[in-house]
Copies of this chain bind each other. A is one copy, B any other.
Amino acid sequence: MIRLTPVSYIVLGLIDAAGEATPYQLKTAAAASVGNLWSVQHAQLYSEPLRLADAGLLDEQREETGRRRRVYRLTDAGREALTAWLATPADGFTELRDPGLLQLFFGAEPGPLAAAQLGLHERRLAEYETLQREAGAAMTEGQHLTLEAGIAHEREWIRYWRNLARD
């Protein structure tokens, strides 16, 4: 049996929500939704479905005409894998893994670093807030909650770097 990674579940989850999808549709769907939380390289949205189809979690159909795109849907096993994952609360812990913080750790000057990071995070926060205002109504509960987490952490980053910026 293959090992299912977060990317596997992203693919399964997106296909579940869409009913069916080609890799390209996965790409656009990912960019518009989970992308902020966990982005995936587009090439992986071609290779990962192949893996999942091999493992019997996806059903693959080629279009008859034109580009003969691959269209994927969940098999019963695939739906089951997704459900099982959702029912098992993650025990994993996420490290911050922030490049800027890493530089700080090893002795970078806080001032310039803070200035740069502040800009990044302010822009990101603005994007999130716009997203919430404009697309909030169309979101699922889960998406909404996730976005709130994103906003909260952005606010925290801004507080943090702002504090370091006045040196």
Contact across chains for A104 and B164 when beta carbons are under 8 A apart: no
Choose one: B37, B113, B140; the contact of A96 (CB below 8 Å).
Answer: B37
Contact across chains for A105 and B156 when beta carbons are under 8 A apart: no
Instruction: Tell me whether A108 and B96 are in contact in the complex, defined as CB-CB below 8 angstroms, given that A102-B6, A102-B9, A152-B156 are known contacts.
Output: no
Contact across chains for B153 and A105 when beta carbons are under 8 A apart: no
Return the chain B residue nearest A121 by Cβ.
B93
Q: Say yes or no for A77: interface residue by CB 8 A criterion.
A: no
Which one of A21-29, A60-68, A83-91, A129-137 is at the interface?
Answer: A83-91
| A150: chain B residues within 8 A (beta carbon) | 96
Q: Which size bracket describes the interface of A in this complex?
A: 35 or more
| A124: chain B residues within 8 A (beta carbon) | 93
Return the chain B residue nearest A10 by Cβ.
B102
Instruction: Tell me whether A142 and B104 are in contact in the complex, defined as CB-CB below 8 angstroms, given that A120-B91, A160-B152 are known contacts.
Output: yes
Return the chain B residue nearest A150 by Cβ.
B96
With A38-B96, A104-B142 known, 14 other A-B pairs at CB within 8 A are A9-B106, A37-B96, A37-B98, A38-B95, A82-B106, A89-B108, A90-B113, A90-B116, A94-B96, A107-B141, A107-B142, A108-B142, A152-B156, A152-B160
A-B contact list, 17 entries, CB within 8 Å: A6-B99, A6-B102, A13-B106, A13-B107, A17-B106, A33-B105, A37-B98, A37-B101, A89-B112, A91-B116, A92-B100, A94-B96, A104-B142, A104-B145, A104-B146, A149-B160, A152-B160
